[in-house]
Structure 1
């Protein structure tokens, strides 16, 4: 697909997940950096994402928001990058993409906000309880080299960087399973390029 690809982000946001995915894809893209506050809530950007949040992408006439959706979309839009399993083999791929987008992120967010869920309330929340979420994810990342099988995929970008963020910022238990999994994927060349680009923006030097 030759449509123009535009990436809306802030280097101190979940946009780092999408930046990594874009670098894995290898297609040319334009970066639009938005500052928190008025710029993200401007009428121009709200026309892209009515939530007034980053990241988002525009690919031709299509707009995609939400990190998991963007990762899945880019894997499909650029199949030559090999970042999605064959359609008949996507059960684990979809399962863990959306496990991370739902139960995992919700559980970690509530923990960070010091929101406790009483045992009798667990059936009301999508993740049940934090211990079950962490046990489930730890088992998943220890069973195979990558989250969806024997090959790196877009699910590893999304799940992996959430684990990486958690380990870095202390919001995730430093279980051996998480540390080992993160160690298998954190030094990919695309991840290093993505970090260099975003770190340059944080430092005020542009993308170079």
Structure 2
């Protein structure tokens, strides 16, 4: 049964997001660990993801790459996990899931690389300015317990991961709203279980 759902990942990658989502779903899955370098550029893996990057999942004959897409797909593929609102109530859920995949990640990455747009350039980038992105995000996580309302969803897995990493590595300025939100979404057994699995994989890889 586990062969029908496979995670291709590396514990030092965004694959941790996909792992968390899989643990939330609760379906059995098999893990294929790939090292950076030749393994990710092999013909076998390029058939899974032509970008030669992890994570990716294979569910039967369906292949999904990109973390936000993986989270959205798994929520739909396993509705019994209750990780997506009803279709008629998904506006907020989709908004913040893809806000994190688009404006948030792009703005933070550009700033970290020293490529912030000037005033004249801001109209040409999807996020405008990082100040606008962070102000919008701070307000959003303060409105309700979870990003799409009172119920935890796949959008919290994805957005929460970005906020958690940002706070851990300093790419997001710490503020009470971000800290409180991250504490809420990470206080889950599935998150702890996923972290243990990836930490164990890192430790095993580090051993000679």
Residue 121 of structure 2 corresponds to residue 130 of structure 1: no
2:97 corresponds in structure 1 to: 97
Instruction: Give 1:116 shift.
Output: 2.1
In the other structure, the counterpart of 2:164 is 164
Q: Does 2:143 match 1:143?
A: yes
5 Å-filtered alignment, 1:63-78, equals 63-78=63-78
Find runs of 4+ consecutive structure 1 residues off by over 2 angstroms: none
Q: 1:80 to 1:146 in 2, by over 3 A?
A: same
Aligned length: 206
Deviations 1:124-178 (CA, angstroms, capped at 9, x unpaired): 1110000000000000000000000100000000000110000000100101110
Secondary structure class of the residue paired with 1:142: coil
**Residues 76, 3 of structure 1: alpha-carbon distance in 2 compared, 3 angstrom cutoff:** farther
**For the structure 1 residues 102 and 76, does the alpha-carbon distance in structure 2 shift closer, same or farther, using more than 3 Å as the test?**
same
CA distance in 2, matches of 1:76, 1:35: 29
TM-score by length of 2: 0.97
Per-residue CA shift, 1:96-130, capped at 9, x if unaligned?
00000000000010111111211000011110000
Q: Determine whether 1:4 maps to 2:8.
A: no
Counterpart CA distance in 1 for 2:71 and 2:116 is 31
Q: Which runs of 5+ in 2 are unaligned?
A: none
Taking the aligned partners of 2:163 and 2:46, their CA distance within structure 1 comes to: 30
Distance change >3 Å, CA 167–CA 31, structure 1 → 2: same
Aligned to 1:39: 39
Task: Single out whichever of 45-54 and 2-11 deviates more from structure 2.
Answer: 2-11
Aligned match of 2:21? 21
User: Secondary structure at 2:204's aligned position in 1?
Assistant: coil
Unaligned runs of 5+ in 1: none
